[in-house]
Structure 1
């Protein structure tokens, strides 16, 4: 079978157009309608893509605002830990001593202020003791023989924290195991 060259195809189309102008106009209108439909579809896809990009950018900006302090918060957790340890290390008899009363009151006030700042920025402690081990929030450091159900947290070595709905630092815990 012989291929029709481009020149032959054009000549045949021109001949058909002269023979039947209504048919040529109909073909041209149908072709233009097809092109218009394709262009409309392309515009719809482009609009949808722009809307998706805008939504992603808005979400990323909101996340950046919400979680901007994450690195700083992680760093400040060690300060909060040291303050808590300092408060716990003060013996009860020194808490009532007039020489140390101002120091103790100052440390307590500082501890409350740290907690207040954490609350304002959506940083919360992870509860651990008595709960089941959740690897998304707790880091098991050791197993402790216990009467508690295996997998229950019986010791907390370091408090864990969340920033809003994200893990800031896992709680380091000891998990119960059977006495066998």
Structure 2
């Protein structure tokens, strides 16, 4: 029996040594995994901070672009109107203009102004007589009895304007009264 205890006693230390070796190997594998995970976390934190900084830079640049766009939005329109003003000033400098030359100058200036409006998407709203009243583009000032369908344009008192498909000013109109 003592012999068995010896054998058991010897077997026990061998098992403990193997178990300790396995524990050491497992611990070192866990330490490697932990250090790899920590390195991955550090890499992801760095990537996150870089992405956050980049997003902030993009936001800031976009705000600057919007501010510049607001500040200079009218620049193209102003450039188109400057020659119109120049022509009007030249017309006023003429000492003794004839009615024909004044009329010709005004017509040329009006063409130039209309061209500037078109280039900058400022379009006229000038409804035809008999056209149906469109409350999105026309403003009825009064109604009159007329020989045409009710709620149709009888007279245009003032043209309206849109800018880039947005109503700037409605056309002022007189409409036919219902019979």
- TM normalised by structure 2 equals 0.51
**Distance verdict in 2 for CA 1:27–1:46, change over 3 Å:** same
Find out whether 1:118 has 2:114 as its counterpart: yes
**Distance verdict in 2 for CA 1:53–1:105, change over 3 Å:** same
**Distance verdict in 2 for CA 1:113–1:39, change over 3 Å:** same
Structure 2 gap segments, 5+ residues each? 1-25, 85-96
Structure 1 gap segments, 5+ residues each? 1-18, 77-100
1:125–1:159 Cα contact (<8 Å) kept: yes
How far apart, in 1, do the equivalents of 2:59 and 2:72 lie?
20
**Distance verdict in 2 for CA 1:33–1:63, change over 3 Å:** same
**Distance verdict in 2 for CA 1:135–1:44, change over 3 Å:** farther
C-alpha RMSD over aligned residues: 3.8
How far apart, in 1, do the equivalents of 2:64 and 2:148 lie?
48
Question: Which of 37, 40, 59 is the equivalent residue of 1:33?
Answer: 40
Task: Give deviations 1:89-135, integer Å, cap 9, x for gaps.
Answer: xxxxxxxxxxxx93254135314313322312434322222444344
Alignment of 1:17-96 (within 5 A): 20-41=27-48, 43-44=50-51, 46-48=53-55, 50-51=57-58, 54=61, 57-58=64-65, 61-62=68-69, 64-68=71-75, 69=77
**Aligned residue pairs, count:** 133
How far apart, in 2, do the equivalents of 1:146 and 1:49 lie?
64
Indicate the residue corresponding to 2:88 in structure 1.
none
